[in-house]
Amino acid sequence: MAWWLAIMVVLHLLWASLGMALLIRELNLSRFAQIIGGLAFSLSGYLVARAGFLSINAAVAWLPWILLAVTKLVKAFRPVAGDPLLAGQMNKSGRYQFISAFSLFVVALAMQLLAGHAQTAWYSMILGVLWFFYLAILDPWLESRRPAAKSAGDLEQAEQDNIEAGSPASTKKEFTPAYWLLISFGAAIVLALTLAAVQLLPTAEYLLESQRSAAVDYEFAMSYSFWPWRFLSFLAPGLFGSPAFGDYWGYANYWEDAVYMGLIPFILAITGLFTRGRKLPSGTMVNARLVWFLGLLLLTTFLIAMGRNTPIFPWLYRHVPTFDMFQAPTRISIIAIFAISILAAIGADSWSRPHDRQLYWLRLGIMAAAAITIGAGLALVLTRNLSVDIRPSFIRATAWLGLWGVCLGLLALKAPGRKKVRALDWGWWHWVVILVVGSDLILAGWGLNPSVPLSVYKDPSPAAGEVHLKINHGRIFLGAADEEFLKFERFLRFDTFMPFEGDEDWSSLRASLLPNITMLDSLPSVNNFDPLIPGRYSSWMDVLENANPNLRDQMLNLMGVKVVESIDSSQAYGIRFDSRDAFPRIRWVGCGKYAADADAALETVLSDSIEHESEVLLEQGPGAEPPYCDSDARAELEIQLDSASKTSVRVSSDSAGYLVVADVWYPGWKAYLDGEQASLLRANYLFKALRVPPGEHDVKIVYQPRSFYAGIVLSLTAACLLIAIFVLWTRYRQSNYQET
């Protein structure tokens, strides 16, 4: 598993690079531009620095493929000049292109949704819709490729050509393509959503049950707003240090604002903005409108990404749906990274050797870049010998900036002349540029994804044995303050990836049993480090954090906490594990009480009005049966099976009562009493309970989520439809090949 996760990180970067290169090729740019754009995108700081954030990179890798499919889809409705298609009636070649593009769009979008990062998928959807409407409405290149009937005679001839091609005449032919294009785009989105329904429906259910069901807190949403000073990292990525070197000192964590795309691609992107495609060979899809569109994307995206640093995102948070669902506004900068990659490709195909006055300024720039590198070296000596207070990261970053600046200047001096650029010649110079760009990006990202020995995962935690002896079918709990310290001040620090001092190593992190590391040792934990958690669980933990000692003990008892972890520098690994008594996770209670709603239940459970040893508080609406109540009732419980998705208990009791399970109540859990489905009640605000009559009974509590099974049906249906489309595509391809 560990090996495959590491391999998948690399494969996703390669997939992102290939997708971006193919998209640039679809814009009819050269192979050189494709490689530059692909490298700038896939090895950008946004992707490389986040490589350990598996779901983000898995989702981002599909972004260029989605836009490639959208481009192909629009072009399928806008054929080459001379092909009569006023009515949108496609010949076999056009149908083949359409089916191919449609299928790619569905698969790429579905795969991105299945990658599991909703925020990235949503931003990709926004970009996909904008890209679609640009190509379908604003792009004059496609319009110029569309045949036009300027007179009645031309229109009659076009209609006759359509008839001869097997397309029936229609009085509304000139409007049909736009309608079909929009319908096809919408149908592809719906089919992709349906194909991913097996994951989307349970996720939607979880979202509705989560602490984000309404919106995230304002302060939480504004966390990780793009720090304006990090715009300088487009030129020098390590200006504010790097956790790879253990000296990061900028705002928040390094990877959220990582945007470096290589000095040469960045300068080429600026060049692409200014030239607006004027120096490109004829036949490309690049024009002034595309450049302006990309520039507008770039500007708008970063204004939003700055979050709390401008009034734009706060306004969007309050007035526009979905902006209040996510944290880290800086993550929308992936749209800007895409725009810069395309602009860099445009600049690459526009790159030619300077002349006249430009040559003078280029030589001056090379000298300035060399002076910067030399000056950085002198500054390093001064800081060591004269104790000058300059951040080492400034010196290191400035030196690299000067070095890559010199490389850029020398490459510009040897660039092909304008005539050769227009002919798109390929030679040694192009390979050198690619080598320099690749080296720049690899060195900038080196160390941002440190590896650990496989033994860290395979070997048990040094503390697991002790905790297993103490936990006795209960749970372990770590207080919020201690958890925060262990995570972000001791182990998962923002300033360095290697926080260990002295004899400490990665085994110290395993010994900490931080959530959710406990899963590696099969230790049940109260804590959860997931970004989405059930809303009631979140409220419960908030109360627990601020509870007085007596109430805290009561809540820990209800959760079955038998081990409390805390920081103690005198103990091994600086952590102490204390045993405590608690209610069993599965227990019998003879007396039930009712609460009208969730608020009343939480208030009552946290009060002194209920005896938790013998009573359970249930949520039941008006008209419900009176609760059983025999505080002296006893029962024998034989746990026959207890797994992640099923619990089976044999209950033997002389009187009625309640089987209480200290697991979070959640939709999809079903209770069966002697094989017949029974009502699974909310107990003590957060947990589950089942009403059991006297006698001997077999009780089963099983996770059978309707959302998952409904998702399977929808996904299988969409998959069958997609297979049918593929078969149709294959037939058209074979038929077209035979005719050719």
582 pLDDT higher than 90: yes
Span 92-143, pLDDT tens digits: 566 778 888 999 999 999 999 999 999 999 999 999 999 999 988 876 555 5
Domains and CATH numbers, the chain: 62-210+706-740 (no CATH), 455-579 (no CATH), 586-704 (2.60.420)
283 pLDDT band (50/70/90 cuts)?
low
pLDDT, position 621: 62
Span 543-573, pLDDT tens digits: 999 999 999 999 999 999 999 999 998 988 8
Q: Give 155-175 as a DSSP string.
A: HHHHHHHHHHTT----TTGGG
pLDDT, position 180: 79
Look at 124-128, 353-357, 477-481 and tell me which has the smallest mean pLDDT: 353-357
Give the single-character DSSP code of 324: T
pLDDT, position 553: 94
Check residues 91 and 99 and name the one with the higher pLDDT: 99
For residue 516, say if its preceding peptide bond is cis, omega within 30 degrees of 0.
yes
Which of 278, 287, 27 shows the shortest CA–CA distance to 140? 287
Asked if residues 160 and 149 have their Cβ atoms less than 8 Å apart, the reply is no
Span 323-333, pLDDT tens digits: 888 889 999 99
634 pLDDT band (50/70/90 cuts)?
confident
pLDDT, position 145: 47
384 pLDDT band (50/70/90 cuts)?
low
173 pLDDT higher than 50: no
Check residues 110 and 363 and name the one with the higher pLDDT: 110
C-alpha–C-alpha distance, residues 483 and 514, integer Å: 7
709 pLDDT higher than 90: yes
SS3 30: coil
Which of 299, 297, 303, 294 shows the shortest CA–CA distance to 275? 294
Helix residue ranges, H only, 27-91: 31-42, 45-48, 54-60, 63-76
Span 395-436, pLDDT tens digits: 888 888 989 999 998 988 888 876 655 555 678 889 999 999
Burial class (CB in 10 A: 0-12, 13-18, 19+), 441: buried
51 sits in the region (left: phi over 0; alpha: psi -120 to 50; else beta) called alpha
Angle value at C-alpha 675, between 669 and 677, nearest 5 degrees: 45
Percent of the chain with pLDDT over 90: 55
The distance of Cα 641 from the centroid of its chain, to the nearest Å, equals 36
Token pair recorded at residue 619: 């949520």
Q: Give 116-138 as a DSSP string.
A: T-HHHHHHHHHHHHHHHHIIIII
Half-sphere exposure of 651 (CA within 13 A, CB side): 33
pLDDT, position 171: 41
Mean pLDDT over each residue of the chain, to the nearest integer: 86
Number of other residues whose CB lies within 10 A of the CB of residue 367? 12
533 sits in the region (left: phi over 0; alpha: psi -120 to 50; else beta) called beta
- Ranges of beta strands (E only) in 600-737 are 615-619, 635-642, 646-653, 657-661, 669-673, 676-678, 680-683, 687-692, 695-703
527 pLDDT band (50/70/90 cuts)?
very high
pLDDT, position 114: 95
Angle value at C-alpha 245, between 242 and 249, nearest 5 degrees: 40
pLDDT, position 146: 46
Check residues 698 and 221 and name the one with the higher pLDDT: 698
Partners of 635 in the β-ladder: 653
Q: Give mean pLDDT, residues 55-63.
A: 95
Q: Give mean pLDDT, residues 317-325.
A: 87
157 pLDDT higher than 60: no
169 pLDDT band (50/70/90 cuts)?
very low
Q: Give mean pLDDT, residues 69-95.
A: 62
Q: What's the pTM?
A: 0.88
pLDDT, position 155: 43
